[in-house]
Amino acid sequence: MRIDLEPRAEPSRWASIAAPVVALLLAIAIGGVVVALLGKSPVQAFSVYFIDPLSASWSLQALAVKASPLILIAVGLSFCFRANLWNIGAEGQFIVGGALGGWLALATHDGAYQQSLGGWWILPAMMLLGIVGGALYAMIPAILRVTLGVSEILSSLMLVYIAGYGLDYLVRGPWRDPQGFNFPVSVTFDPEATLPSLIADGRLHAGVLLTLAAVLIASVVLAKTMFGYEVRLFGAAPKAARFAGFSERTITLAVFAISGGLAGLAGIIEVSGQINQLQPSISPGYGFTAIIVAFLGRLAPFGILLAGLVLALTFIGGEGAQVAMKLPLDLTSAFQGILLMCVLAADVFTRYRVRIVTGAAR
Amino acid sequence: MNPDIVQLVLVTIVTAATPLFIAAVGELVAERSGVLNLGVEGMMIVGASVGFAVAYMTDSTVLGALAGTASGVLMAALFAVLVIGLAANQVASGLALTIFGIGVSGLIGSGFVGQKRTAAQALWIPGLSDLPIIGRLFFGEDLFVYAGIALIALVAYFISRTRAGLTLRAVGDNHTSAHVLGLSVGRIRLLAVLFGGGCAGLAGSYLSLVYTPFWSPGMTAGRGWIALALVVFASWRPWRVLGGALLFGGATVLQLHAQAFGIGLPGQLLSSVPYAATVLALIVLSWRNRRGAAAPAMLGMPFISDR
């Protein structure tokens, strides 16, 4: 038996909508088998993972807050991936953005700046610093690639570990709260440095609005501007793009700046909206999960919006399943890996006609 | 410095380098066939958990290592279905394999956290192993080290001296011509990818059977990625992988010893040395080589037969 692939002239429109849905269903089915192998009820697990989080207001808010960084990072990554560039260090850019933005909150903590300048400027400045931090950190692999041809895949990934150790050092060392009973955490941010809630006493914070804005802007830029066209052409037909005079260097630097900047923004939103202080670890792997979000969303901003909600559901459902069913948290990561494999497998049907030839037909 | 300490440092460098070069030489074969498998980290960590679980249950290091190797082959088969069978994007598929492997290894290993075994026995040849400085270094390592070096010699011979090795390189450098010549591109790539998976699995079981020797979640700590970088660093040549791995092993050990001697640098800075060294090595290499000159030309590109 063998599999024959015949390229389609045009990607199938029907298949490109159906593929992610089929992939999700397939992944859920495989996940169910894994749960059964662990000796638990797949039906109960499905309900804990995918239904329970949707049934209460607080968990719906948690869902939006968890999906927000995933969507922001994935929207940025979609620019890179579309241009056939592989920034897989978003986790590191997230950390640097969160740390640099968080630094301003620590520097202005109960300080004279706030009283004399009113304090309103602190949050916007933190967001800006988050973007700048993430974008600058993403410039390292981008510049190494355009000047020396260093593989951006490996360099961006190595920088994740370095960023993680860097934040760990800062929080255990110079940024530690002197009154914190020796816990490795910074002081709690002032209200001026904390993203406001959208609902009284709720968890939903203003960062969610920034995420929605990013999705809208990204979809316009990708679909309607010359830059978006260049990025898409560059990924689909690099020779044609070079012939048309597009600069590989400019596009590489630009998409890395966009993805790094959005990852950094996600970092500072998480720090100032959720955690409200700096601690040794500020991400449960958002930067890596966002890669799955980008592919499940078919590298399109609105698709990513939906995909981000689905993967946020697996995070929240995973925590719920740990408490309610004693299912290990690793199941979430295993499921996410299965999901990405299913998405990539299903994607084949949009680009090729697939025929399975049995031995006799050869 | 005391010669015993020198010997101890040298031996630990080899121990730190072994999982790196075993995984890297496997990936090298896969890449020479034109397939970039970024799932090394995932295959390695599954190998570590399966290797430890089986060794613990059967009380046999050899069975553990075999099972770890087999689990790496299985993981690689999953990857092969995606990228060879379905022509899926290799970068994304490799990442999926790594994310999946980290989760699965946690599930497999969850019952073994905190369990301990004695590390695999090192070889001991009376007389030779007692020699000062070089005795243990050359004649007193564990069997994995010798097996790993034999593997490199074998791969080096295979790639440059055999007809099958020539076929492998032909497929990696121009799959269309290879196909026209009647070579089965898919089958050759499948074998190369499976070999790479086996090596990654073996390297992972080395970590949990010799290096630590226990299972802890996430214990590969990026070594799979460093192995990938080593292949680039070695310009896809087997013996250079060994040299590169010893350099990286040196960086890791230096960092550990610096921490032990209480050198006045923050621990986190020292811990990030291997990762920074990897970036630096990639930079130095790119500086020396012209862009991508040494890489297999078809690396990362799917092959679709037009029959």
Evaluate if residue B245 carries a pLDDT over 90: yes
Task: Look up residue B30 and give its amino acid.
Answer: A
Evaluate if residue B199 carries a pLDDT over 90: yes
Tell me, yes or no, if B287 comes closer than 8 A to chain A by beta carbon. Answer: yes
Report the residue of B74, B89, B90, B95 to disrupt the A interface, i.e. the one with the largest count of A CBs within 10 Å.
Answer: B95
Alpha-carbon B30 to chain mean position: 12
Q: Closest partner residue to B268 among A150, A158, A166, by Cβ?
A: A166
Q: Do A337 and B106 touch (CB under 8 A)?
A: no
Q: Which residues contact A300 (CB under 8 A, 6 or more apart)?
A: A78, A219, A222
State the burial class of residue A362 (Cβ atoms within 10 Å of its Cβ: 0-12, 13-18, 19+): exposed
Instruction: Say yes or no: B265 contacts chain A, CB-CB below 8 A.
Output: no
Say what percent of chain A tops pLDDT 90: 59
Q: Cβ separation of B101 and A337 shorter than 8 Å?
A: yes
Give the pLDDT confidence score for residue A360 in this predicted structure.
Answer: 54
Please give the mean pLDDT across all residues of chain B. Answer: 87
Q: How many CB atoms lie within 10 A of CB B257?
A: 15
pLDDT value of position B180: 85
What confidence score (pLDDT) does residue A235 get? 84
Rounded CA Rg of chain A: 22
Lowest-confidence region among A121-125, A277-281, B302-306: B302-306
N-term to C-term CA, chain B = 67
Pair A267, A96: CB distance under 8 Å: yes
Between CA B33 and CA B189 the distance in angstroms is 6
What three-state secondary structure class fits B174? coil
* pLDDT value at residue B272: 87
Contacts of A344 in chain B (CB under 8 A): 82, 86, 88-89, 92-93, 96
Strand partners, A3: A356
C-alpha B227/C-alpha B248 separation (Å) is 10
Q: How far apart are CA B272 and CA B252, in angstroms?
A: 9
Contacts of B297 (CB under 8 A, 6+ apart): B34, B172, B173, B174
Q: Can you give the pLDDT at residue A211?
A: 96
Residues contacting A100, CB < 8 A, separation 6+: A129, A130, A132, A133, A264, A268
Instruction: Give the tokens for residue B158.
Output: 């295979």
Cβ pair A292:B266 closer than 8 A:
no
Q: Which amino acid is at A346?
A: A
In which band, very low, low, confident or very high, does the pLDDT at A362 lie, cut at 50, 70 and 90? very low
Mutate to test the interface with A, among B175, B282, B287, B304 (most CBs of A within 10 A): B282
Owner of token pair 């069997």: B143
In degrees, to the nearest 5, what angle opens at C-alpha B201 toward C-alphas B200 and B205? 115
- B106 touching A (Cβ < 8 Å): yes
pLDDT of B288 higher than 70: yes
Q: Which of B79, B100, B231, B236 to mutate to test the interface with A (most CBs of A within 10 A)?
A: B100
Q: Is the distance from CB of B43 to CB of B26 less than 8 angstroms?
A: no
Would the pLDDT of B148 be above 90?
A: yes
Q: Does B282 touch chain A (CB under 8 A)?
A: yes
Q: How does the average pLDDT of chain A come out, rounded?
A: 90
pLDDT band, residue B135 (cuts 50/70/90): low
Amino acid at B91: V
Name which of A180-184, A236-240, B139-143, B303-307 the model is least confident about: B303-307
Decide if pLDDT at B93 tops 90: yes
Share of chain B above pLDDT 90, in %: 49
Choice among A278-282, A311-315, B282-286 with the minimum mean pLDDT: B282-286
- Element containing residue B53 per DSSP (H, E): helix B40-58
Nearest to A256, CA basis, from A145, A97, A118: A145
Mean pLDDT to the nearest integer, B141-158: 91
B198: tokens are 């086996």
pLDDT tens per residue, range A33-91? 999 998 889 999 999 888 888 888 888 899 999 999 999 999 999 999 999 999 999 99
| A-B contacts (CB, under 8 Å) | 149
Nearest neighbour of B107 by CB, restricted to A172, A331, A348: A331
- Is the per-residue pLDDT at B56 higher than 50? yes
Quote ipTM for the complex: 0.90
**Partner residue facing B86 (CB), from A7, A288, A345:** A345
List A355's β-bridge partners, or say none: A4
**CA gyration radius for chain B?**
19
pTM of the model: 0.91
Contact B91 A86 (CB under 8 A): yes
- To the nearest whole percent, how much of chain B has pLDDT over 70? 88
Which pLDDT band, with edges at 50, 70 and 90, does B126 fall under? low
Mapping DSSP onto H, E and C, the string for B5-20 reads HHHHHHHHHHHHHHHH
User: Which among A5, A154, A173 has CB closest to B229?
Assistant: A154
Query: Taking 70 as the threshold, does the pLDDT of residue A114 lie above it?
Result: no
Closest-CA distance of chain A to residue B166, Å? 25
Q: What is the pLDDT of residues B258-273, one digit of tens each?
A: 767 766 677 788 888 8
Nearest to B72 by CA among B42, B34, B103, B28: B42
Least-confidence region, from A124-128, A178-182, A338-342, B39-43: A178-182
